[in-house]
């Protein structure tokens, strides 16, 4: 004698009802716990936060250096200008500027920024040497301007602006809208 003497249709209804109960139970559990935070919050990574802050600080410092070097370069008039003597006598000769720090900061960004910084450093050191050379001859008033390397001076100013501008654009904060 069979244990359950039920019609096949009744057995099918019992299995279907059991399946619906299980599915609805899982749905209620999911709905109830879906808004809860996980038991173990993701581990905070103070090293990453600290590292990100250090990186941001270095980028800010490099932006400051780039802005300063751009302002020094923008104060230098073309060699044909009547203001060149005054500009070279009164401008910054970059003697106190820390090019090693500038290069270190640039190398931390990426290789393109490092390469641009190398060009900027080489050209601005040359310009600083010219400025000091003009100043050594009795405050520049007795400098032999016929010996002044006008073409190279103008070329150095022109080719140094581009890498400085590219560095400045590359270092802009991501939240700053392009102008």
Domain-located, residue 21: no
pLDDT of residue 42: 57
- Give the SS3 label for residue 153: helix
* Tally of domains within the chain: 1
Domain-located, residue 96: yes
Nearest 5°: the CA angle 85, 89, 94 is: 125
pLDDT of residue 45: 55
Domain containing 94 equals 51-170
Domain-located, residue 163: yes
Contact 88, 135 (CB under 8 A): yes
Pick left, alpha or beta for residue 121 (phi over 0 → left; psi -120 to 50 → alpha; otherwise beta).
alpha
Domain-located, residue 23: no
Domain-located, residue 109: yes
Percent residues over pLDDT 90 in the chain: 45
Give the global pTM: 0.68
Pick left, alpha or beta for residue 94 (phi over 0 → left; psi -120 to 50 → alpha; otherwise beta).
left
Domain-located, residue 88: yes
- Rounded to whole angstroms, the Cα distance separating 5 from 137 reads 120
Per-residue pLDDT, averaged over 137-161, amounts to 86
Domain-located, residue 3: no
User: Is the model's pLDDT at 1 over the cut of 50?
Assistant: no
Domain-located, residue 19: no
Question: Nearest-CA neighbor of 172 among 114, 113, 119, 96?
Answer: 113
User: Is the model's pLDDT at 86 over the cut of 60?
Assistant: yes
Per-residue pLDDT, averaged over 118-128, amounts to 95
Per-residue model confidence as pLDDT tens digits over 21-48: 998 888 888 777 676 655 555 555 556 6
User: Is the model's pLDDT at 140 over the cut of 70?
Assistant: no
């Amino acid at each position: 004698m069979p244990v359950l003497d039920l019609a096949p249709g009744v057995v099918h209804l019992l299995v279907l009802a059991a399946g619906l109960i299980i599915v609805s139970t899982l749905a209620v559990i999911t709905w109830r716990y879906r808004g809860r935070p996980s038991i173990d919050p993701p581990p905070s990574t103070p090293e990453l936060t600290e590292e990100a802050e250090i990186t941001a600080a270095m980028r800010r410092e490099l932006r400051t250096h780039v802005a300063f070097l751009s302002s020094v370069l923008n104060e230098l008039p073309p060699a044909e200008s009547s203001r060149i003597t005054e500009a070279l006598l009164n401008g910054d000769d970059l003697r106190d500027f820390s090019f090693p720090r500038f290069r270190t900061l640039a190398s931390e960004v990426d290789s393109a920024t490092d390469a641009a910084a190398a060009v900027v450093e080489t050209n601005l050191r040359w310009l600083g040497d010219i400025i000091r050379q003009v100043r050594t001859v009795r405050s520049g008033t007795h400098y032999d301007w016929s010996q002044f390397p006008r073409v190279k001076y103008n070329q150095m100013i022109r080719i140094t602006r581009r890498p400085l501008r590219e560095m400045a654009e590359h270092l802009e904060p991501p939240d700053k809208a392009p102008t």
